[in-house]
Amino acid sequence: MGTFLFNVFAAFTVITALGVVLNKNAVNAAMCLLLSLVGVAGLFAALEAYLLAFLLLLVYAGAIVALFLFIVMLLDTRGTDQPSLHPLPLLARGFAIALVAGGVGSFYVHGRLPAPPLATAPASGAVLKLYAYQLFTTYLLPVQVIGFLLLIAMLGVIVLSKKFEGVDDIK
């Protein structure tokens, strides 16, 4: 039953994450982000990491998505004509696709990460100190990447909310 639930939550998370990326309406994309975060919390719960699932729902699904929805509704952005494709964004897209392909290829070649020996592993979920230790040692890079992505998203919101006065055709 645990593997089935994990697979259901994983598929739900991937489908709603695709909804975030492919949705043209910003409010619908933010709602898909909320559902995607709920799916990730379900994955944490399936892995018996209940504290992480609760914190993800509380902090990200509760506060960050509400902030995104507030700012999107405050900006009241309307869809405009398709922007022209300049070489620099195309180069950045190609670089991002190459990085993702390299990461997937590396994971495919090297396979799964080796599990630590069970004799040296402390009891999981015994104390909150273990979560903090794992968060700042084993999972430090993913936490930093998520923080960096949130910083980029906030900078994007700031750039979108900037009103250019007196200049009508900035391109």
For residue 17, the domain's CATH number is 1.20.120.1200
**Sign of the dihedral through C-alpha 140, 146, 148, 150:** negative
Question: Is 77 in contact with 154 (CB distance < 8 Å)?
Answer: no
Instruction: Give residue 16's pLDDT band: very low, low, confident or very high (50, 70, 90).
Output: very high
Domain boundary residue, one of 13, 46, 76: 76
Pair 67, 1 in one domain: yes
- Residue ending a domain, among 51, 76, 101, is 76
In a domain, 143, yes or no: yes
Sequence-separated (6 or more) residues with CB below 8 Å from residue 49:
125
**76, 95, 110 — which closes off a domain?**
76
Q: Domain count for the chain, please give it.
A: 2
- 85: in domain: no
Each residue's pLDDT tens digit, 78-137: 655 565 667 777 788 888 889 988 888 887 787 766 666 666 655 555 566 777 787 778
Q: What is the pLDDT of residues 54-77, one digit of tens each?
A: 888 888 887 778 777 777 777 766
Torsion sign across C-alpha atoms 17, 18, 21, 24: negative
Range of the domain at 63: 1-76
Structure tokens at 88: 């620099």
Q: Are 70 and 57 in contact (CB under 8 A)?
A: no
